């Protein structure tokens, strides 16, 4: 895109304008996608509970999310008088911004990536470790006990699962040989016979299962939604929030879920590559394959949310520290040993 | 141009955040300003071309260390009046430490200017080959030339970790833990009995 703008302006300006256009090209469809994915989530959830779900606003209730958005937009923003005002208003902005930032390194197609940096995967880890601040600050600045409990739970949960996610990603990086997101996708081309994707590899398949579950814990989706356990914590860290600040949490949460789905697709299922390495399948644009994979994973996330009961807090911690951490560490040893033995690095 | 602007932006914000860290009245605000300072330091690292170090700075310091800081500070109920009272008493000591640090800086920079010590001039073994990525270069050095130092650092961290566990761990009696594998292995036959008693006879368990 920089070349296109460079035809009628100097390089610096063209680069800046191209980057801004790139950001808008990712962020605006993402927001629209989040609105539709909230609708999809409610529909899937309703279907599994034999209900109808949203069906009043627009055809099949398609406009429900937009009606909800308009509703919260018109509501009054209430700031509790005992709250720490500046931080109280800053917290949802942090959550929302961080949820969008990570999308900068997701490759949508060969070459269609906003920031093709060498440390793409580390950037994702760094950004996702920032996400916890939105929750902690919200819980503390609300000056209310349930949000505070929820913030404590959220930070402990996210730190615990980030440890095993780190080891899981190291396995992927070892096999791909790069931290660059595009490089990781390309390393998955005909990985096992004609299948594109690390997931077909018997050594990496268990790693992917762990990543999927850790991803649910990291994004605080059911069955790990202890931060919003309504029977214990009212509404968790967002109890005191209303109108737009509440909506920002909502949007940020679903943008994070979509990001986790995208990461599953990019790191293990071949990203924008078709599932099979057959020339005919490459006629379909890569974006379509990536979107299909993201939607599939989102369906899995909703499916889990509709069917699995919530974990108890000690069970959550046990799963993170006593099951996933040793297992992922073991797989780092096994995979690096296998790669050394087969001469992958030479 | 953009490079220079970015440098002054990051450096200025970092100094400002550092200043606000030590002057903030509320300790939680102080930790949050510290996080801003870390973040801008990471930005400076990116400008230097050390993107791996920048990412590690964010992941380790912002993502883990500062979260635990924030945790502790939020839990503590700090009384500011007593904290301020100690300020005047400890002021001379603080000034002394600041002077010592300033003297060290002056001597260090002076020695470097005079050519007594060489900084930032990598020798041949420490130089990253052309076209090698940041991470590969660091890894190649860390696991060959500095292997023993690296292992020693790991050992020191392990000792610190074990020490912390030994100091805080206490055995409590009478705790009923959950044995998940035992629960999963349990079958209906061992847990239930199916009886068909005579009407009015009742069941004896």
Instruction: Express each pLDDT in B92-127 by its tens digit.
Output: 888 999 999 999 999 888 887 777 666 555 555 555
Model pLDDT, residue B156: 96
Q: Does B41 touch chain A (CB under 8 A)?
A: no
Sort out which chain B residues have CB atoms less than 8 A from A142's CB and list them: none
CB atoms within 10 A of CB B79: 9
CB A95 within 8 A of CB A252: yes
Q: Is the pLDDT of residue A137 over 80?
A: yes
Across the interface, do A155 and B71 touch by the CB < 8 Å criterion?
yes
pLDDT for B83 equals 66
pLDDT band at A66 (very low <50, low <70, confident <90, very high): confident
Share of chain B above pLDDT 70, in %: 86
Alpha carbons A3 and A192: distance in angstroms, whole number: 37
Q: Is the pLDDT of residue A170 over 70?
A: yes
pLDDT at A3: 65
Question: Is the per-residue pLDDT at A260 higher than 70?
Answer: yes
Among A69-78, A169-178, A193-202, A246-255, the range scoring the smallest mean pLDDT is A193-202
Q: Is B75 exposed, middle or buried (0-12, 13-18, 19+ CB in 10 A)?
A: exposed
Burial of A208 (0-12, 13-18, 19+ CB in 10 A): buried
Nearest of A66, A105, A90 to residue A249 by alpha carbon: A90
pLDDT attached to residue A182: 86
Identity of the residue in B51, B71, B180 whose CB atom sits nearest the CB atom of A117? B51
Average pLDDT over residues B138-159: 89
Dihedral sign, CA of A330, A331, A332, A335?
Answer: positive
Query: How close A130 comes to chain B (CA, Å)?
Result: 6
Using left for φ > 0, alpha for ψ between -120 and 50, and beta otherwise, residue A277 falls in: beta
- Residue B99, pLDDT score: 94
CB A142 within 8 A of CB A82: no
CA distance B125 to chain A (A): 21
B59 vs A122: CB contact, 8 Å cut-off? yes
- The per-residue pLDDT for A64 is 85
Residue B63 to residue A130, Cβ atoms within 8 A: yes
Beta bridge partners of A192: A195
Mean pLDDT value across residues A223-230:
79
Asked if A210 and A164 touch (Cβ cutoff 8 Å), the reply is yes
- The alpha carbon of residue B68 is apart from the nearest alpha carbon of chain A, in Å, by 9
Please report the beta strands in chain B, taking only residues with DSSP state E, as ranges in sequence order: none
Contacts of A111 (CB under 8 A, 6+ apart): A182
Choosing among B3, B43, B45, B74, which should be mutated to test the A contact, i.e. which has the most A CBs within 10 A? B74
User: Which one is predicted more confidently, A344 or B166?
Assistant: B166
| Average pLDDT value over all residues in chain B | 82
Whether the Cβ atoms of residue A105 and residue A114 lie closer than 8 Å to each other: yes
Residues within 8 A of B (CB atoms), A 305-324 only? 314-315, 318
Cα–Cα distance for residue pair A205/A175, rounded to 1 Å: 13
> What are the angstrom distances between the C-alpha of A292 and each of A46, A108, A190, A287, A297?
22, 12, 19, 9, 9
What letter does residue B197 receive in the DSSP assignment? P
Using the predicted structure, report yes or no on whether residue A7 has a pLDDT greater than 60. Answer: yes
Provide DSSP, A149-214: HHHHHHHHHHHHHHHHHHHHHHHHHHHH--S-HHHHHHTTTT-BTTB-SGGGSTTTHHHHHHHHHH
Interface contact B52-A159, CB threshold 8 A: no
Domain ranges for chain B, please list them. Answer: 133-166
pLDDT at B81: 63
The whole-angstrom distance between B111's CA and the closest CA on chain A is 36
Q: What's residue B143's pLDDT? A: 85
pLDDT band (50, 70, 90) for residue A223: confident
Q: Minimum mean pLDDT among A167-176, A329-338, B97-106, B196-205: which range?
A: B196-205
Q: Does A133 touch chain B (CB under 8 A)?
A: yes
pLDDT of residue B179: 82
ipTM greater than cut 0.85: no
pTM score: 0.82
């Amino acid at each position: 895109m920089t070349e296109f703008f460079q035809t009628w302006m100097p390089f610096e300006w063209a680069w800046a304008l191209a980057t801004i256009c790139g950001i808008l090209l990712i962020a605006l469809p993402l927001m629209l996608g989040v609105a539709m994915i909230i609708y999809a989530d409610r529909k899937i959830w309703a279907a599994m509970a034999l209900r109808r779900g949203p069906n009043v606003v627009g055809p099949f209730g398609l406009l429900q999310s937009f009606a909800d958005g308009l509703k919260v937009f018109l509501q009054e923003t209430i700031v509790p008088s005992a709250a720490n005002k500046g931080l109280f208003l800053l917290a949802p902005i942090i959550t929302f911004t961080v949820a969008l930032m990570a999308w900068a390194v997701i490759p949508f197609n060969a070459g269609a990536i906003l920031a093709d940096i060498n440390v793409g995967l580390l950037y994702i880890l760094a950004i996702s470790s920032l996400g916890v601040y939105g929750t902690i600050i919200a819980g503390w600045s609300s000056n209310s006990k349930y949000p505070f409990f929820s913030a404590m739970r959220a930070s402990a949960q996210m730190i615990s699962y980030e440890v095993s996610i780190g080891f899981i990603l190291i396995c992927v990086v070892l096999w791909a040989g790069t931290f660059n997101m595009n490089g990781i996708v390309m390393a998955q081309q005909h990985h096992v016979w004609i299948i594109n994707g690390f997931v077909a590899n018997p050594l990496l398949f268990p790693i992917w299962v762990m990543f999927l579950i850790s991803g649910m814990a990291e994004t605080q989706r059911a069955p790990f939604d202890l931060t919003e356990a309504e029977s214990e914590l009212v509404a968790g860290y967002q109890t005191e929030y209303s109108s737009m600040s509440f909506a920002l949490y909502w949007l940020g949460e679903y943008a994070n879920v979509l990001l986790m789905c995208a990461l599953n697709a990019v790191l293990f299922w071949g990203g924008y590559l078709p599932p099979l390495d057959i020339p005919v399948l490459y006629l379909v644009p890569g974006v379509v394959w990536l979107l299909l994979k993201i939607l599939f994973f989102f369906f899995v996330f909703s499916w889990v949310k509709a069917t699995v009961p919530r974990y108890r807090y000690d069970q959550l911690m046990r799963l993170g520290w006593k099951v996933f951490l040793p297992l992922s560490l073991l797989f780092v040893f096994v995979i690096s040993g296998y790669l050394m033995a087969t001469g992958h690095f030479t | 141009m953009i490079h220079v602007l970015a440098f002054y932006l990051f450096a200025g914000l970092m100094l400002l955040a550092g200043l606000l860290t030590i002057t903030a009245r509320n300790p939680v605000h102080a930790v949050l300003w510290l996080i801003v300072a870390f973040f801008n330091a990471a930005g400076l690292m990116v400008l230097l071309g050390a993107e791996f170090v920048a990412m590690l700075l964010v992941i380790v310091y912002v993502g883990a260390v500062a979260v635990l800081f924030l945790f502790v500070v939020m839990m503590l109920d700090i009384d500011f009046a007593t904290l301020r009272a100690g300020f005047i008493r400890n002021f001379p000591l603080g000034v002394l430490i600041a002077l010592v640090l300033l003297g060290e800086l002056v001597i260090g920079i002076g020695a470097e200017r005079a050519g007594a010590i060489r900084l930032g001039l990598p020798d041949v073994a420490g130089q990253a080959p052309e076209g090698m990525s940041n991470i590969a270069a660091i890894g190649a050095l860390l696991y060959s030339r500095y292997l023993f130092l690296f292992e020693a650092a790991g050992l020191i961290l392990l000792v610190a970790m074990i020490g912390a566990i030994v100091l805080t761990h206490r055995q409590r009696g009478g705790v009923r833990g959950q044995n998940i594998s035992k629960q999963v292995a349990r079958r209906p036959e061992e847990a239930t009995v199916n009886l068909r008693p005579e009407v009015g006879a009742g069941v004896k368990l």
